[in-house]
Each structure stands twice: as C-alpha cells, then as structure tokens.
Amino acid sequence: MPAVAALPDRDRLDRRDVKTLLLAALGGALEFYDFVVFVFFAIPLSQLFFPHDTAPWLAQLQVFGIFAAGYLARPLGGIVMAHYGDKLGRKRMFTLSVFLMAVPTLGIGLLPTHAQIGMLAPLLLLLLRVVQGIAVGGEVPGAWVFVAEHVPARRVGFACASLTSGLTVGILIGSLVAATINSRLAPAAVLDWGWRLPFLVGGVFGFCAVWLRRWLSETPVFQAMHARRELASGLPLRLVFERHLPGVALSMLVTWMLTAAILVIILMTPSIVQSAFHVAPARAFLGNNLASFALALGCLGYGWLADRFGYARTLLFGALGLLLCSYALYLDLQAGAGHFLALYALTGLAVGVVGVVPALMVAAFSPAVRFSGLSFSYNIAYALFGGITPPLIGWLVKQFGVLAPAHYVAFAAVIGMIVAAGSRGDSR
C-alpha cells in the first residue's frame, strides 16, 4: 500500500517517537477536553441560554443542536488546514488548530446568559461553538497524520490508537470536571457560576497545549517529500477525488461507526441516563468516568491488536463487541440499572475499537495527499453523522423508547463489520 512506503524504515519505537506520541497525545487531550466539555453541561446550558418557559426537552434538544453545530463546522477547518498541511507542513497546522480551540472555549466561559442579553446569548454560544468545530476539524486528522508519519510502518496502528487514547483522556478530564462540579456545588451554584469553570479552565489548558507543541518537529515523511519535490501540485483535494475515491468511501463509513460510538455511548449517555432512566447525576458521571478510562485503555489495546493481527480483523472483532456491549448496557438501564457502572465501563472498553479507525484511514491515502484525503473524509462524515446524531437520538428516544440509542450504535457497528469483511487482507 502507498501509505506505508514513505514511513520511517524501523521496526521499533525509539525515544524520539515516544516523546512525539506523548506530547501529541497530551496536547490532543487538552484540546478535546475543550471541545466535548460542552455536552456534559447540556442541562444547565439548556436552562440558562433559552427562555425559562421553554419545555425542558425542547431546550435540551436545542442545546444538543448547538453542540452538533460544532460538527457541522468541522469540514471547513479540516479542508483548509489539510490543504496547507499537505503544502506547507503538518506541524504548522497542528499548532494552529489548538490555538483556534482555546480562544472560543475561554469565550464560552465568559458569555452572558439569556436572562442578561436575551436571544443574543444562544446566538453567541452558537458562534463560538462553530469556531470550536473549525479548530477540531483540523486537529484530529492532523494529529493522526502527524503521529503516523513519525513512527515505523509496523507501529502505525498503535501510534494512531495512542493519539486517539489521548483524545479520549480529554473526554475523561471533562467528565471528571463535570462530576466534581456537580458533587461539590449545589444545583443553584452550578446554574449561577459553576458551569463557567470548565470552560475557563479549558481555555487555559488550550494555551498550554499551544506551548507544548513548540517542542514537536516536522514529520520525516513530509521532510522527505519536500526534499524530493514530491509535494502535491495544484489542489491536493482534487487529486484525492481523482485517485482515492475508494479510500474516501472506506474512511467515511468507518467514521460513521466511530461517531456513533463516541457520541452516543460516551458523550450523550450521561445526559440520557439522567433524563430517561432517572439515574442520579453523580452516579451518571461516575459511570462516564469509568467508561472514558476504559475507552482510553481500549484504544491502546485495539491499536496493539491491529499491528499484530491486521486492521480489518481487529475492526471486525471489535465492532461485534461494541454491538453486544451497547445492548447489554441499555437493556440493564431499562431493567433498573442494577449493573450500570460495570456495564458502562465494559461498553467503554468496547468503544476502544475506534482506535483502529485512524490507521485504516492513514493507509487509504498516499503521503502527498494523506492529510487532505483523511481530513475531507473524516470531517464530512463526522459533520453528517455527528451533526444529526444528537438531535436524532433525542427525537428517537421520545418517539421509539429508551433502547433507541443502542439500536443506533448497533446499526453503525454493523456498518463497521461490513467494511472490515470487505477489506483486502489486513488493510495495511
């Protein structure tokens, strides 16, 4: 495959590789915290940024819609940053994306509410969320390309999974912050000022991530292409459409599975279990902490398996596990949530199969257009499926019952299994 031909010709990770992976994962964790902490405060935001006479389910649906707007904005940032990433270098865009995330996160923490400025409040919240989406659109695919081009070909699966694990640590940090605020502060204090804390802290984290990335170097793959004058001429995205349409289709389909698993199981379930199953907030966020921690470990495990047994076989096995665990979690919730914490942690471990997805996408594109191909496919799919999933799940639960989230995740897992079954060999 062309994706591995230009990777460093080594079998093991050296000290520089480990440093790159650690710094990239840490910076990604800080940035992803900024992006996802929004959803953990969906309930107070729905009460503060819309009129008080709005039905609770409608206000929460509107907040999920604003959350989804960040996903709809991702292609803009992803396509533009990927273009310059393929032309000027991976590192520059890798640093720019985290700066663009820090500014709006800090801004959300300083926003006045609906009671103070009326309908301008949700409009400003929407605007800042869109800027966050633009930033993360360049961050996630750029990070995967960055680490994949620093490590040996036989370690791409683990390298991409370690970065994905770092991103999920950002989710865990957000969940821990939400759990701490909800357990230490009275509900009135959370509505008054406590909800601002995670966004203010996140803004500071974001600027720390900008500083951390000063210590990273450009990828050897890009440096070699630049020295040999093999960079894409013209528009890299045009070459993607001309030469890599099968890779685009594969990447969009596996991104669908990734989107469903992360959004529904990790990000939305804490709010769903409170509103639909009447689980106490403290218990809901404790379960989410366990699931997020298990997800971070699961990504590493699946990345190791992918390098050892092949991307396609690992994806097939992992997607089946995701399907089974999702049903186990939601059936237990329907029966009274007697095993909620254990099953949520197990399902988080199963969601770790998303750690295989970036390695599959890296392998689908040649180095000269890798950033553009991966970014376009991933961000368009995430904008489509990530944009519709939060409001769709809210509507499906209301219309078809509390097992609707599990049905949706299971359907996306079947898509992943079909892709794995149709992939050639080990897909490397």
Residue that is written with structure tokens 């528009």 in the block: 235
d(CA 347, CA 265): 8
DSSP 383-403: IIIIHHHHHHHHHHHHHH-TT
Mean pLDDT of 41-65: 80
User: What pLDDT is attached to residue 146?
Assistant: 86
Q: Which residue has the higher pLDDT, 267 or 251?
A: 251
DSSP label of 232: P
pLDDT of residue 425: 43
Does residue 37 sit within a domain?
A: yes
Q: What is the pLDDT of residue 346?
A: 98
pLDDT one-digit tens code per residue, 349-400: 999 999 999 999 999 998 888 888 999 999 899 888 877 888 888 788 878 8
Higher pLDDT, 54 or 303: 303
Q: Is residue 385 part of a domain?
A: yes
**Calpha distance 113→115 (Å, rounded):** 5
DSSP track, 45-99? HHHHSS-TTS-HHHHHHHHHHHHHHHHHTHHHHHHHHHHHHHHH-HHHHHHHHHH
Residues whose CB falls within 8 Å of the CB of residue 169, separated by 6 or more in sequence, listed in order:
25, 29, 292, 296
The answer to whether residue 210 sits within a structural domain is yes
Gap between the Cα atoms of 424 and 315, Å rounded: 13
Q: How many residues does the chain have?
A: 428
90 touches 141 (CB < 8 A): no
Total structural domains in the chain? 1
Q: Is residue 427 part of a domain?
A: no
Higher model confidence: residue 271 or residue 112? 112
What is d(CA 313, CA 279) in angstroms, rounded to the nearest whole number? 37
Whether 73 maps to a domain, the answer reads yes
- pLDDT for 374: 92
Residue 4: predicted pLDDT: 40
The whole-model pTM stands at 0.80
The DSSP-derived string for 217-278 is ---HHHHHHHHTT-SPPS-HHHHHHHH-HHHHHHHHHHHHHHHHIIIIIIIIHHHHHHHTS-
The pLDDT tens digits of the residues spanning 196-210 come to 999 998 888 888 878
Nearest Cα to Cα of residue 178 among 270, 99, 262, 258? 270
Question: Is the pLDDT higher at 315 or at 71?
Answer: 315
Share of the chain above pLDDT 70, in %: 95
- Domain residues for the domain of 99 are 2-422
Model confidence at 339: pLDDT above 70: yes
How far apart (Å, rounded) are the C-alpha atoms in residues 29 and 359? 19
Residue 105 lies in a domain: yes
**Tens of pLDDT, residues 216-255:** 777 777 777 777 776 766 788 888 898 889 999 999 999 9
> Residue 3: which pLDDT band, with cuts at 50, 70 and 90?
very low
Residue 424: its pLDDT value, please?
Answer: 57
Look over the chain and give the mean of its residue pLDDT values, rounded to a whole number. Answer: 85
Asked if residue 331 is part of any domain, the answer here is yes
- The CATH number that applies at residue 254 is 1.20.1250.20
428 inside domain: no
Q: What is the pLDDT of residues 128-180, one digit of tens each?
A: 988 888 888 888 888 888 888 888 888 899 999 998 998 888 878 887 888 78
